[in-house]
C-alpha cells in the first residue's frame, strides 16, 4: 500500500471501508515486525561493537600504564 493512502486511512479510520482497514492493518503489522527485527539486530550489533571497543580501549589503557 502506498504511504499516502495508508496515512489517509489512519487519519480517517471511521470512514474507511473494512477492506482498506484490513489491508492497512496487515501492512502496519508487517512494518512493525520488520522495524522490531531491525532494532533487535542493531541492538545486538551495538552490543558487539561496545564489547570490541572496550577490549581495544582497555588494552590501550594497559599499555599506557607501562
User: Is residue 24 a contact partner of residue 3, using CB atoms and an 8 Å limit?
Assistant: no
- pLDDT, tens digit, for every residue of 32-66? 999 999 999 999 999 999 999 999 999 999 999 87
Q: What is the pLDDT of residue 34?
A: 98
Give the domain extent around 32. Answer: 3-65
Q: CA-to-CA distance for 63 and 25, rounded, in angstroms?
A: 57
Q: What is the pLDDT of residue 65?
A: 87
Q: What is the pLDDT of residue 6?
A: 96
Q: Please count the structural domains in the chain.
A: 1
Q: CA-to-CA distance for 13 and 17, rounded, in angstroms?
A: 8
Amino acid at each position: 500500500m502506498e504511504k499516502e493512502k495508508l496515512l489517509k486511512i489512519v487519519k480517517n479510520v471511521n470512514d474507511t471501508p473494512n477492506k482498506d482497514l484490513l489491508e492497512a492493518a496487515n501492512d502496519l503489522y508487517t512494518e512493525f515486525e520488520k522495524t522490531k527485527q531491525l532494532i533487535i539486530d542493531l541492538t545486538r550489533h551495538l552490543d558487539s561493537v561496545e564489547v570490541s571497543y572496550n577490549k581495544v580501549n582497555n588494552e590501550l589503557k594497559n599499555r599506557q600504564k607501562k
